[in-house]
Structure 1
Amino acid sequence: MSDQTESIPGEPASTLDVEAHTSARRRAEQTRVSILECAKAAFNQRPYGEVSLKDIANEVGVSAPLIIKYYGTKENLYEAQLDFTEAADRLSRVDFADMGTHLARLAVTSADDSPNSLVRKLADAGGNRHIVDTLGKVFRQQVVAPVLERVATESLRESSRDAEMRAEAAMSMVIGLALMRRLVTQEYFHEADVDAFIEYYGGLVQCVLDGADTADTADTAS
C-alpha cells in the first residue's frame, strides 16, 4: 500500500513543503542582510583594496562562493552596501534657505572618518575606477537627485531648466571644500575663523542653489 502522504504529481505542494520553502527563503534573506551589514562595516573601516570576500564570509560564517552566488563580484557587493540615505534624509529636513550654510558646515566640521563622507570613500577607493564611478552614481541618485528636485521647486528661480546645473555646481563646491579641508587647508579652520568662513562659503553655495547672482544678493542684503 502506498503512503497516503506522498505527493502526487500535479497536486499542490503540501503545507510542510510550503513551510520548508518559506523557511529556506527567510534564512537566505537573513544571510543576505548579514552579508551586507558585515560588508558595510568592513568597507567603512578599511580601504577597498584591503577588504576581501573571504574576510566578510568568515565574519558572517558562510563561504565566499555563497557571497559570489548572491552578489557576483566584490564590486557588486560594494555597490549594494553603499547607502547615503541617512545623510540625504537629514538634508531633506533643512529649510531650503539654510541649505548652503548647512552643507558648508558639514564640509568643514564633519569628522574625517565619518562613514558618510564621500571624500573619505573616494580616498579609500584607492584609484579603482569602477569603485569611483559607483560612488558617483550612488551619491548622485541618493543625494544630488533630491537636492536637484528641491532646487527646481523651492529656489528663488523656480525653474527646472537649469536646476540640474545649479544642484551639481553647488554639490561640487561642497565636495571640493571637504576635499581641500582634508588634504590642504585643515589648519586654516581654527575655531575662531570657522563660523565666519561657513557663513561666507555657505552664502556662495546658497546663491548657486537659488540661481541668484552674488552681486544681486549683496545689493539686496545691503
Structure 2
Amino acid sequence: MSGGAEAGELSGGAEATRGPARRDAEATKTAILKAVRHLLARHSQADITLKAVAERAGVSAPLILKYFGNKDSLFAQVMSFEEDAAALLDAPLADLGRHMVRHVLVSQSERGADPVLRIVFAPLHRERGDVLRANFRTQVVDRLAGRLDGPDAGLRAELAVGALLGLGVMFGIARGERLRASDVEDVVERYGPLVQAQLTS
C-alpha cells in the first residue's frame, strides 16, 4: 500500500466510513497477512520483526499494530493454511499432481517462497508449532485425502504432500542449482507423475 493510502486510513473522519476506505483497509490487512505468510515460509517467527513485515507489506509498523493489536495477535491469524490449500489443490484430480508441482515451483521462482512450506519451520515456532502442524494436517493433508478414491487415502495424501514438500525444500531451501535452472514445465512433467501416482492409485 502507498503512504497516501495509509495516511487516509489513519486520518479518520467521514472518509474512513465510506466504502472505498473500508476496501482499502481490507486490502491493507490482506497485504500484511500475506507478508507474514511469506516471511514464515522462510524464517522462524522469533526472527521476524514487525519492521520486516511492514516493509514487505508496504505499510508502517504502527498501522500493523492498529489492525492487529500486537505481534502475537498478528501471528495467531496466520497459522491457518485454508487459503494456501485452496490454491494448491485448485485443479481436477486427474491433473492435480502436475498442478501442485507447478504451484510450488511458480510460487518459489516468482514470489520467493510457497506459503505452504512454512510448515517446515514448525519446530522453530515453539508452542505455536503444534498449532501449525495441526492446521497443516487438517487443512492440507486431510483436505487432499478427502478428494481421493480407493484405499489408504490418508496415507497416499501424506506421501503426495511429502513429495511436494521435498521438492519445495530442494528448490527454496537447499537451492538445488540444476533444479532452479530447469524449465518449470520440464520439472512438472518429470515430477508431476510421481505425485499423481499417489493421488490416483
TM bucket by the smaller chain?
A: 0.5 to 0.7
The partner residue of 2:83 within 77, 86, 91 is 86
The residue that corresponds to 1:51 in the other structure is 49
Q: Which amino acid aligns with 1:172?
A: G
RMSD: 3.8
Alignment partner of 1:127 out of 106, 124, 128: 124
Distance 2:161 2:171 in 1: 15
Amino acid at match of 2:33: K
Q: Show CA shifts across 1:17-56 (max 9, x none).
A: xxxxxxxxxxxxxxxx89965762552465422335xx89
Change (3 A) 1:81 1:34: farther
Change (3 A) 1:125 1:168: closer
| TM-score (norm: length of structure 1) | 0.57
Q: Residue 177 of structure 2 aligns to a residue in which SS?
A: helix
Q: CA deviation at 1:57?
A: 7.6
SS in 2 for 1:151: coil
CA drift of 1:207 comes to: 1.0
For the residues of structure 1 that align with 2:159 and 2:49, how far apart are their CA atoms? 33
Match of 1:168 among 140, 158, 161: 158
C-alpha separation in 2, matches of 1:35 and 1:174:
31
Residue of structure 1 in register with 2:104 after alignment: 107
Q: Alpha carbons of 1:38 and 1:86: their partners in 2 closer, same or farther (altered >3 Å)?
A: closer
Q: Which has the larger radius of gyration?
A: 1
Asked if structure 1 preserves the Cα contact closer than 8 Å seen for 2:122 and 2:133, the reply is no
**Whole-Å Cα distance in 2 between the matches of residues 45 and 200 of structure 1?**
27
Give yes or no for contact 2:98–2:192 (8 Å, CA) kept in 1: yes
Question: How far 1:142 moved relative to its partner?
Answer: 2.0
How far apart are the structure 2 equivalents of 1:195 and 1:34? 32
Aligned residues: 164
Gaps of 5+ in 1: 1-32, 153-157, 212-222
Displacement over 6 Å in runs of 4+: 33-36, 123-126
TM-score (norm 2): 0.62
Partner amino acid for 2:164? V
Q: 1:197 to 1:78 in 2, by over 3 A?
A: same
Q: In structure 1, what is the equivalent of residue 116 of structure 2?
A: 118
